[in-house]
């Protein structure tokens, strides 16, 4: 490191030379204790309340003993061979457990005369170094029978890349619910009984088939109680560790009970405002062992600094709302049409980090937007007066890459940097030297989507991040600007069983991330691609969108090109890839697939994987595929703007007009039925909003099969499929029907159907 850069950093550590970030005056009720950088979540930490500045190296896992071993020969060649043998289970997972009764594996008749499934709850499976590599250490062994009919269409539609795999039937006597909690492998055997191959299994198919869940998740508050609900069907045990503050030792640990893959516990209302972590015992394929992990709640709505603990908060309670927050829906800036929208993209820290008209303690954060007379807000007001309609905020959820605790930040001395010549390399060297410890990051490192980022709040613990985010939205709305937030649902910052920034992959390992046909995590979206094709991943994303839209009145947006399958030739990060890879083709002839290997800077390591896919003509979408996606997107927009009933603007209208059916204990899981009523002859007290339709019914069927249901309250009406869908290019949605006699609706699999009653 150049001496001058060292001097800059040395001066930073000396307050007399540092770029000032005035310290907050802590108050007993709101101050965040001074803390070291965030630790990894390790269930082995003493008393669950200790912190270490760096992760401690994990002790090497002793390989399982072969049959007859005493355990005393730690250095024997037999054990060394066993250690090598167990690694065979770790690198890949080439078989897919796709339904409760079917496993798919790409093996031929010649190499697999018979197939067996092995399970070990304690993760002690290994290859015997003595008996020709036989599999040992299992609790159960199940012989699988070939399914000569092959994989059903429902499976090949969900997993088209395994459509050519052989199918093997799991006996009906097998307790699948117990087996998915185990270390699992399948092995093939030749006709003479020698095993020819062995691999692990990918479980998302069977988890969706058996444990898809549409009930409550996260923290649920009632007048008398608080309940916690965690979806973790592969977990062997789940407990909740409670803390009475953001730091300090555990208060108590309580065991959760499981029902159909969902772990839950109910306690008194005074649990509210506690901090907690889930302690989960689960087999993790990346380590080939059962891990005890500590993890935040995937449905967290509050956090401590750096997400070290989840804060148990009722986000709808009055203390979490700025004054007049509930009336904000009625105060939203007028918007007659999407064609009127102009969006101004803005990074929260950029907005005010150097704005001297903002109090120094608020610069770079949510609160800066509440300074109506600041230079920044006056600039936005000027743009708003000229016609700007929306501010689009770069990621503002809980992301990795910036410490939430301001006292841990490192900043370069900007006065010193200003002394260097314009063409010097010293400025960039100084910034590069602290880039992992400074307060700046775009935020495309998602950890938990449902909570505002703590580094932008005055205090990362407790209510500040929630209240101040709402104040920011409120302030922008009041100068005529709506707020759009950048959502990053296509990847996660971390995976694996350790590290504070890994959450989802700790709880249900291998489910939330997309894996290739060898079981390795895909990284094309930057890192740790999320598998939105899996039911509970898709549900988490939808639930999070609802959380932001309802609780923060933010509006997610679509990136340009999503609606036409924009590919960028698999460029994982096209921030500087030029016009060639970023091309948008609005003639719909191409989605820019296969225009060459993407730039080497961020992609070269993956070229061996990318190259054959770009060269394979079956991967290239035809114009018809692009148009089909575009048609579906356009249909959604057309339906939304076909009736003001889809754009109710006041809370009173929503309460008066919107009703949900298919509710209560007899509800059909996976189906939402919503009706919206307008003025009719039998409702003279209601104002008429729509000149064309007097009643709308929207049905969302996320099930993998067609659903028919009778809704007596909607019988004897004159409902018909929405004209847009009746004339849709999608043949599936056109199969949706309504029978007035019984109020029977039939909706195809994974389809959203809209029925309307025209005015006569």
CATH of the domain at 703: 2.60.40.1180
Which DSSP helix (H) or strand (E) runs through 205?
helix 204-211
pLDDT (0 to 100) of residue 457: 98
Say if CB 481 and CB 333 are below 8 A apart: yes
What band does 270 get if pLDDT is binned at 50, 70 and 90? very high
One domain for residues 240 and 305: yes
Number of Cβ within a 10 Å radius of residue 301: 22
One domain for residues 205 and 156: yes
pLDDT (0 to 100) of residue 507: 98
One domain for residues 616 and 652: no
Question: How does pLDDT run across 471-513, given as a tens digit for each residue?
Answer: 999 999 999 999 999 989 999 999 999 999 999 999 999 999 9
β-strands 95-99, 195-202 pairing: parallel
One domain for residues 131 and 195: yes
One domain for residues 96 and 205: yes
In a domain, 441, yes or no: no
397 Cβ neighbours under 8 A, 6+ residues apart: 443, 446, 448, 449, 450, 451, 452, 453, 485, 487, 488
CA dist 265 and 652 (Å) reads 35
In a domain, 82, yes or no: no
In a domain, 263, yes or no: yes
320: exposed, middle or buried (C-beta count within 10 Å: 0-12, 13-18, 19+)? middle
Domain boundary residue, one of 155, 186, 210: 210
CA dist 725 and 735 (Å) reads 10
One domain for residues 140 and 251: no
In a domain, 422, yes or no: yes
pTM above 0.85, yes or no: no
Question: How does pLDDT run across 59-78, given as a tens digit for each residue?
Answer: 333 222 222 222 333 344 54
Average pLDDT over residues 500-529: 95
CATH of the domain at 292: 2.60.40.10
Q: Which is more confidently placed, 39 or 239?
A: 239
One domain for residues 206 and 276: no
One domain for residues 203 and 227: no
For the cut 70, the answer to whether the pLDDT of residue 717 exceeds it is yes
CA dist 716 and 320 (Å) reads 45
One domain for residues 94 and 203: yes
pLDDT (0 to 100) of residue 2: 41
The values of phi and psi at residue 719, to 5°, are: -75, 145
What band does 57 get if pLDDT is binned at 50, 70 and 90? very low
Say if CB 434 and CB 528 are below 8 A apart: no
Domain with 613 in it:
560-621
Q: Cα dist. 195→138, 179, 190 in Å? A: 15, 22, 6
pLDDT (0 to 100) of residue 331: 85
One domain for residues 616 and 653: no
CA dist 266 and 227 (Å) reads 4
Question: How does pLDDT run across 277-319, given as a tens digit for each residue?
Answer: 999 999 999 999 999 999 999 999 999 999 999 999 999 999 9
Domain boundary residue, one of 168, 187, 210: 210
Which residues on neighbouring strands pair with residue 278, listed in sequence order?
240, 295
In a domain, 329, yes or no: no
CA dist 51 and 37 (Å) reads 9
Q: Which is more confidently placed, 745 or 52?
A: 745
Q: Which is more confidently placed, 91 or 240?
A: 240
One domain for residues 101 and 204: yes
Number of alpha carbons in the 13 Å side-chain half-sphere of residue 134:
9
In a domain, 182, yes or no: yes
Percentage of residues of the chain with pLDDT beyond 70: 81
Which residues on neighbouring strands pair with residue 145, listed in sequence order?
169
What average pLDDT does the structure give for the chain? 83
**What is the tally of helices (H) and strands (E) in the chain?**
19, 32
Which DSSP helix (H) or strand (E) runs through 384?
helix 375-386
One domain for residues 182 and 105: yes
Domain boundary residue, one of 178, 210, 242: 210
For the cut 90, the answer to whether the pLDDT of residue 649 exceeds it is no
In a domain, 507, yes or no: no
What band does 122 get if pLDDT is binned at 50, 70 and 90? very high
Question: How does pLDDT run across 719-734, given as a tens digit for each residue?
Answer: 999 999 999 988 999 9
pLDDT (0 to 100) of residue 559: 57
Q: How many separate domains does the chain show?
A: 5
Number of Cβ within a 10 Å radius of residue 338: 10
CA dist 522 and 514 (Å) reads 6
């Amino acid at each position: 490191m150049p001496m001058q850069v060292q001097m800059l950093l040395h001066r930073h550590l000396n307050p007399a030379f540092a770029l000032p970030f005035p310290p907050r005056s802590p108050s007993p009720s709101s101050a965040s204790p001074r803390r070291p950088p965030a630790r990894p979540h390790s269930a082995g930490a003493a008393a669950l309340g200790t912190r270490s500045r760096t992760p401690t190296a994990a002790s090497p896992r002793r390989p399982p003993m072969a049959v007859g071993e005493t355990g005393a020969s730690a250095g024997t060649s037999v054990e060394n061979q066993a250690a090598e043998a167990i690694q065979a289970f770790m690198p890949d997972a080439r078989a897919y457990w796709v339904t409760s009764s079917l496993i798919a594996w790409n093996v031929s008749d010649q190499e697999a005369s018979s197939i067996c499934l092995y399970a070990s709850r304690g993760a002690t499976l290994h290859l015997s170094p003595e008996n020709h590599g036989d599999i040992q250490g299992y609790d159960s062994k199940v012989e699988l029978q070939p399914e000569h009919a092959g994989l059903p269409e429902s499976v090949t539609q969900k997993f088209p890349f395994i459509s050519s795999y052989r199918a093997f039937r799991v006996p009906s006597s097998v307790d699948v619910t117990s087996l998915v909690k185990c270390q699992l492998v399948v092995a093939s055997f030749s006709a003479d009984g020698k095993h020819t191959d062995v691999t692990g299994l990918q479980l998302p198919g069977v988890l969706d088939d058996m444990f898809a869940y549409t009930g409550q998740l996260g923290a649920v508050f009632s007048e008398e109680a608080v309940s916690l609900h965690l979806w973790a069907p592969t977990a062997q045990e789940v407990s909740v560790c409670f803390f009475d503050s953001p730091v300090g030792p555990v208060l108590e640990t309580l065991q959760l009970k499981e029902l159909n893959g969902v772990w839950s516990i109910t306690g008194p209302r005074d649990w509210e405002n506690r901090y907690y972590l889930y302690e989960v015992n689960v087999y993790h394929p990346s380590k080939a062992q059962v891990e005890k992990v500590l993890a935040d709640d995937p449905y967290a709505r509050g956090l401590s600094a750096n997400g070290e603990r989840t804060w148990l908060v009722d986000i709808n309670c009055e203390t979490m709302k700025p004054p007049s927050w509930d009336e904000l829906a009625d105060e939203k800036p007028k918007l007659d049409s999407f064609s009127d929208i102009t969006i101004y993209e803005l990074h929260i820290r950029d907005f005010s980090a150097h704005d001297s008209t903002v109090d120094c303690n608020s610069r770079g954060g949510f609160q800066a937007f509440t300074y109506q007379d600041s230079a920044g807000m006056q600039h936005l007001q000027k743009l708003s007066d000229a016609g700007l309609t929306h501010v689009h905020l770069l990621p503002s959820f809980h992301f990795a890459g910036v410490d939430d605790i301001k006292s841990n930040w490192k900043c370069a001395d900007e006065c010193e940097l200003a002394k260097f010549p314009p063409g010097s390399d010293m400025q960039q060297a100084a910034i590069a030297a602290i880039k992992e410890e400074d307060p700046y990051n775009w935020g495309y490192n998602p950890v938990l989507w449902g909570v505002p980022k703590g580094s932008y709040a005055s205090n990362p613990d407790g209510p500040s991040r929630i209240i101040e985010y709402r104040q920011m939205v409120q302030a922008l709305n009041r100068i005529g600007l709506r707020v759009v937030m950048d959502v990053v649902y296509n990847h996660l910052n971390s995976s694996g069983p350790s590290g504070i920034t890994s959450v989802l992959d700790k709880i249900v390992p291998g489910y939330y991330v997309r894996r290739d046909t060898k079981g390795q995590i895909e990284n094309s979206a930057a890192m740790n691609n999320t598998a939105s094709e899996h039911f509970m991943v898709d549900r988490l994303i939808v639930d999070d969108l609802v959380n932001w839209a309802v609780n923060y009145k933010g509006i997610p947006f679509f990136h340009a090109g999503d609606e036409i399958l924009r590919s960028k030739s698999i460029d994982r990060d096209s921030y500087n890839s030029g016009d060639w890879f970023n091309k948008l083709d609005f003639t719909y002839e191409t989605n820019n697939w296969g225009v060459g290997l993407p730039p080497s800077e961020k992609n070269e390591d993956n070229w061996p994987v990318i190259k054959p896919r770009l060269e394979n003509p079956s991967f290239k979408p035809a114009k018809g595929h692009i148009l089909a996606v575009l048609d579906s997107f356009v249909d959604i927009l057309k339906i939304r703007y076909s009736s003001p009933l889809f754009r109710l603007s006041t809370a009173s209208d929503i309460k008066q007009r919107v009703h949900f059916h298919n509710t209560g204990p007899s509800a059909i899981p996976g189906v939402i039925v919503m009706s919206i009523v307008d003025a009719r002859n039998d409702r003279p007290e209601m104002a008429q909003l729509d000149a064309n339709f007097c009643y709308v019914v929207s049905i969302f069927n996320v099930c993998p099969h067609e659903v028919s249901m009778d809704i007596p309250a909607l019988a004897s009406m004159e409902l018909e499929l929405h004209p847009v869908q009746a004339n849709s290019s999608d043949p599936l949605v056109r199969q949706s029907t309504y029978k007035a006699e019984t109020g029977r609706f039939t909706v195809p699999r994974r389809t959203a159907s809209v029925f309307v009653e025209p005015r006569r």
